[in-house]
Structure 1
Amino acid sequence: MPVRPVPAVLASAGAALLLLAAAPSADAAPPAPADTKEMVTVDKTARIAADGTVKISGTYRCRNNVGPVFVSSNVGQGASSSDTLGSVTVRYAIGGTHAVCDGAKHRWENTGKPAPRTLKAGKAKVEVTLMELRPWGGLPLMPHFHAQSQQDITLAKG
């Protein structure tokens, strides 16, 4: 199934609206802030295969989860007319990996295939999020962000 590009601004706005619409009542306790020892990193080089499949990897550490936790990633490149919407760079979702939150450092790897010929070998920017889906305030699943990282990387052939 092809992945369609979503401008980061639109994706963020949609997520914010969803969170506002699903906000619990004022008497519900807010989620605890992320643990400062929790982290997610991105390797400096990602791979892009001849068929356009992108493989991004790195490490993460988290602990104290009650719901499922995932490492999600997206990637964007340059500011050419073919990959921007106005002045917003289009970002492509690259897979998602289930994370184990036991306090130990683990490797993660996400793979995805954006629309044909949208990404090329060269400089790129990756955003990675370590997010848990927790039961909270009567909602079945509320996002809890353990860690996030944005980094410039190199997409290398292979």
Structure 2
Amino acid sequence: MRISKLALLTLATLATFTVPFTSPATAAAFSGEISVRDQVHIAQDGTVTLSGTYRCSGASPLRGVFVSSSLVQDGTQLGFGGTDAVCDGVEHAWESSGPVNPLGDVDLGFHAGRAQVDAHLMTLEASGGWLPLPHALAGGRESVDLVDHRAH
């Protein structure tokens, strides 16, 4: 039986890019906690900074863990990029910041007063497909005081 060069090349390409999946570490093997500082400040230049501490251990060396955070007020939610977490059982500080109005002239309406911060320790896990999806390992929503230093 003769295999065409194209079929052989296709099989070789698939074999090259096929990576066996290993089972991700279960949440039971992971222990973690995250906290949020009770005050969030919007600086004069419009930068908002969320911060707090976290502690985690037991993460699989095959996957990374990161801190995900967002500011929520009056039905508006603003997310910030993830910060890498070190899961060595020691308490670490985390901080995420960015513009409170990332769309420029469009004011999202954040103001001084009560707000919430969603903060989670996250990982990416493949669940039945090729594309890894975010998975929360620990965290939740905490109430904070939002202090606005912008001149209005």
What residue is the counterpart of 2:86 in the other structure?
100
So what's the TM-score if we normalise by structure 2? 0.67
- The verdict on how the C-alpha distance between 1:58 and 1:35 changes in structure 2, with shifts beyond 3 A counting, is farther
Counting aligned pairs with the same residue, the percent is: 38
Corresponding residue pairs, total: 121
Q: Is contact 2:30–2:56 with CA below 8 Å preserved after alignment?
A: no
The 5 Å alignment of 1:39-54 reads 39-54=33-48
CA distance in 1, matches of 2:112, 2:29: 35
What residue is the counterpart of 1:125 in the other structure?
116
- The verdict on how the C-alpha distance between 1:135 and 1:91 changes in structure 2, with shifts beyond 3 A counting, is same
Q: CA RMSD in A?
A: 2.6
CA distance in 1, matches of 2:85, 2:125: 14
Q: 2:98 aligns with which of 92, 97, 112?
A: 112
Structure 2, unpaired ranges of 5+: 1-21
For CA contacts below 8 A with separation 6 or more, give which structure has more relative contact order: 1
Structure 1, unpaired ranges of 5+: 1-27, 79-88
For the pair shown, which has the larger CA radius of gyration, 1 or 2? 2
Q: Deviations over 1:49-89 (max 9, x none)?
A: 112211010111122233122111111213xxxxxxxxxx1
The 5 Å alignment of 1:2-151 reads 32-34=26-28, 37-63=31-57, 64-65=59-60, 66-78=62-74, 89-115=75-101, 117=107, 118-134=109-125, 139=130, 141-151=132-142
- The verdict on how the C-alpha distance between 1:34 and 1:93 changes in structure 2, with shifts beyond 3 A counting, is farther
So what's the TM-score if we normalise by structure 1? 0.64
- The verdict on how the C-alpha distance between 1:152 and 1:55 changes in structure 2, with shifts beyond 3 A counting, is same
